Structure 1
Amino acid sequence: MPEAVLKGRVALVTGVSRRKGIGFAIAQQLAMLGADVFIHSYSPYDATQTWGADPDGISALIALLQKHGTRIAHAQGNFLDPAVPGQIMGTAVQTFGHIDILIANHAYSKMGNLEQLTAAEIDTHLQVNVRGTLLLVQAFAAQHSGCSAGRVVLLTSGQHLNPMPEELSYIASKGALYQLTLSLSAYLIGRGITVNAINPGATDTGYANSELYESVLRANPQGRWGQPEDAARLIGWLVTDDAQWVTGQVINSTGGGV
């Protein structure tokens, strides 16, 4: 793909808080392709997880992204607050004037089978992952002028390919994004905005214990885990003009596995 193919375009990427994460890989890929990038993070969430927040903080991510020579800006926010998606989009627009590309990469995730379900956990998954994403798309569409091609990419999971009974609240929320993709695409394509989703498959972002890590290696036909850069390269293509004929699709980028 030619360098600077996204020059003059601005992307908002949510869920960018760790160098090991998919969000950072996406932001870096878009910056490498010439886009200005506004990144969103919520580091307190990562700090509560087994993988932890980035040890050097968000400033380290910003410094790395700036090496690609495009403009980088950042805001933090918890999408559990229904006002925050609109605020993040508003700040991004105020910073750069417009947003051409929205990558809804953020996700709240907590393990839980049927017996472990609580109303609070179900609500949190749906509020952050579904409501937060829908409000972001709404705010994105409202500010999109139509002067350039609009791009929305959602991230789902493998719930439609393989049972995930230990993550019921999570897959309920990710399944909703899967189902929303086609309808959002149909609604927005008349405004020049494509909407697609990707399932990145099992991606090595540091969350797996040794048992899970080895089981994925054995199950994947290519004998490896997905890397954040695998998802980032696909998204990088989806937001270019070369992908203008692709919309309403959920793409499984899983290396041949599930």
Structure 2
Amino acid sequence: MAELDGLVAVVTGGGSGIGRACAEAFVGAGARVGVLDIDPGDGTDAVLPVPADVTDQASLDRAMAAVAERFGGIDIVVNNAGISSVGTVADNDDAEWHRNLDVNVVGIARTTKAALPYLRRSSHAAVVNTSSIAATAGLPQRVLYSATKGAVHAMTLAMAADFVGEGIRVNCIEPGTVDTPWVGRLLARTEDPAGERARLEARQPIGRLVAADEVARAVLYLASPASGSTTATALPVDGGMFGLRLPRA
């Protein structure tokens, strides 16, 4: 049997990047997947694309109901939808702070709340949140993004404490800089995209960006019943940024 045979997963932000890689990895492991996104893409027998907005609770409630009706329940939630902003504390106004917090932090709360009635019926319930290396390492020009991802890390621990007695495991991944269309768009806004990409690659000890499918495999591990004793864990997938302190070349 495949690792996730018979299980149903929901992935927010599943239309591209890390979310899409997660959806593909889950299907490959035998799961059926609800892809929630503003633009969720095309469906298959194993993938139900559902337009949804993590800033809208009613949208999420409808989306979860649609996935559960199609596939018979929900066992796994991957809270992956997120946005970012560049700058120091002097560079983003209140509206930009509220926008990022609404998507990256409150969006996880809304999504998990919408999924809880279904997770509570599952014998293999798991939630995996997408945090970031920015939660634990000070990165330049990322104060707003870092604040939201630090909150995701803290939320993961608190959610794990709240639901461990109900058999719902909650973990998070903390990727480094991942080679996704989203990162490509951020680079395109800089004055020197090629130079900035080279700097991002160089700051990760492995010397390259993290691949989206590498993150997806980590999410699959945390979501799988095979890791049934793993909860309240933050798993770095960051090319060594969290654990290594290498001498300068």
Q: CA deviation at 1:175?
A: 1.3
Q: Which residue of 2 aligns with 1:37?
A: 33
Instruction: Provide the residue aligned with 2:84 in structure 1.
Output: 109
Note the 1:161-172 alignment, pairs <5 A.
Answer: 161-172=136-147
Q: Is the aligned partner of 1:27 residue 2:23?
A: yes
Aligned mates of 2:97, 2:134 — CA distance in 1: 16
Within the alignment, does 1:193 sit opposite 2:191 as a pair?
no
Q: Which residue of 2 aligns with 1:138?
A: 113
Q: State whether residues 8 and 31 of structure 2, in contact with CA within 8 Å, keep that contact through their aligned partners in structure 1.
A: yes
Using a 3 Å threshold, how does the CA distance of structure 1 residues 94 and 107 change in structure 2: closer, same or farther? same
The number of equivalent residue pairs is: 233
Q: What's 2:190 paired with?
A: none
Aligned to 2:239: 255
Partner of 1:16: 14
Structure 1 residue 72: Cα displacement: 1.1
- Aligned ranges for residues 11-160 of structure 1 at < 5 Å? 11-18=9-16, 21-43=17-39, 58-59=41-42, 62=43, 66=44, 71-160=46-135
Task: Quote the offset at 1:88 in angstroms.
Answer: 2.0
- Tell me if the contact between 1:146 and 1:192 (Cα under 8 Å) persists in the aligned partners: no
1:229 aligns with 2:213: yes
Per-residue CA shift, 1:55-100, capped at 9, x if unaligned?
A: xx823xx3xxx4xxx5210111222334322222222222222100
- Partner of residue 176 from structure 1, selected from 146, 151, 156: 151
Structure 1 match to 2:247? none
Measured in 2, the distance between the counterparts of 1:151 and 1:36 equals 15
Alpha-carbon deviation of 1:236? 1.0
Aligned equivalents of 1:146 and 1:136: distance in 2? 17
Judge which range, 137-146 or 193-202, deviates more. 137-146
Contact preservation (8 Å) 1:80, 1:124:
no
Whether the aligned pair in 2 keeps the contact of 1:85 and 1:132 (CA below 8 Å) is no
Aligned to 1:251, the other structure's residue is in SS state: strand
Q: Answer yes or no: is the 8 Å Cα contact 2:120–2:168 preserved in 1.
A: no
Specify the alignment match of 2:226 in structure 1.
Answer: 242
Q: Deviations over 1:197-234 (max 9, x none)?
A: 00111111132331222113223222221000110111
Assess, with a 3 A threshold, how the Cα gap between structure 1 residues 147 and 161 changes in structure 2: closer, same or farther: closer
User: Using the alignment, how far apart are the partners of 2:93 and 2:122 within structure 1?
Assistant: 45
Q: 1:222 to 1:149 in 2, by over 3 A?
A: same
Compared with structure 1, are the counterparts of its residues 126 and 157 closer, same or farther at alpha carbon in structure 2 (3 Å cutoff)?
same
Q: Give the match for residue 217 of structure 1.
A: 201
Q: Using the TM superposition, give the Cα deviation of residue 176 of structure 1 relative to its aligned residue in structure 2, in angstroms.
A: 0.9
Deviation at 1:147, TM superposition (A): 4.0
Cα shift at 1:112 = 3.1
RMSD of equivalent CA atoms: 1.8
- 3-state SS of 2:20 partner: helix
Output the CA distance in 1 between the equivalents of 2:105 and 2:136.
Answer: 20
Q: Secondary structure of the equivalent of 2:48?
A: strand
Structure 2 stretches of 5 or more lacking a match? Answer: 188-192, 243-249
User: What TM-score does the superposition give when structure 1 sets the normalisation length?
Assistant: 0.84
User: What amino acid does structure 2 have at the position aligned with 1:58?
Assistant: G
Aligned 8 A contact 1:7 1:33 in 2: yes
Identity %: 29
